[in-house]
Amino acid sequence: MGMYSERVVPHIINFACGMKVAREHRERVCSHLDGRVVEIGFGSGLNVPYYPEATTEIAAVEPSDVGWKIASKRVARSTVPVTRSGLDGQNLPFADASFDAALSTWTLCTIPDVDAALAEVRRVLRPGGTLHFVEHGLSPDAKVQRAQQRFEPMQKRLFAGCHLTRRIDDLISAAGFTITELDTFYEKGAPKILGWDYLGIAVSP
């Protein structure tokens, strides 16, 4: 990664993804987590305040040292043990079937090989384990889709590879998960090309 992606982008994401509307979605997507959880794209720890009491452990997967440093105060205040346990969501350093749940918040848009990452999440989840996600992606509206396609190259440069045109539900289903809950909506206050969100839960077979 270049200096901009490595040093600047984590601070931008910490600010942009810490806004009030995002906090509401984080609280919602974290509410049913339980047991051992692997969080891919831990970032600056913005989900930490929303881990429920039923969560016993968080294995944080985060490539950015700057992001992890920003997260340090949130991690220190966490009532749930949080350990930085991996750097790459495409290659998780965990045994098969070793987690009860996985968490991904605005992460699947950026991982280069999202299919590999979802395969890894499925591998480390126990049978019946759950993937909890809130992600932005391809809008269902043709006009917005065209704008997303035009803007995506710039978005990827500005935000370290962030895609606008991934169909999150299709990607999760193609990885072998069964989506049991799904809500899709435009995020309040966000430009439509950035704000079509997928929020839900998927079960690993």
Cα separations (Å) of 34 from 58, 75, 82, 129, 163? 10, 18, 14, 10, 30
Strand-pair partners of 102: 38, 131
pLDDT score, position 1? 52
Looking at the DSSP assignment, which residues form a beta bridge with residue 59?
A: 38, 83
Domain of 183? 3-203
Question: Which residue's structure tokens are 């600056």?
Answer: 44
**Which CATH number covers residue 10?**
3.40.50.150
Q: Give how many domains the chain has, as a whole number.
A: 1
User: Tell me: the pLDDT tens digits for 105-151?
Assistant: 999 999 999 999 999 999 999 999 999 999 999 999 999 999 999 99
DSSP helix/strand/coil, 103: strand
CB-CB contact of 74 with 104 (8 Å): no
In which residue ranges of the chain is pLDDT below 70? 1
Amino acid at site 45: G
Sign of CA dihedral 82, 71, 130, 21: positive
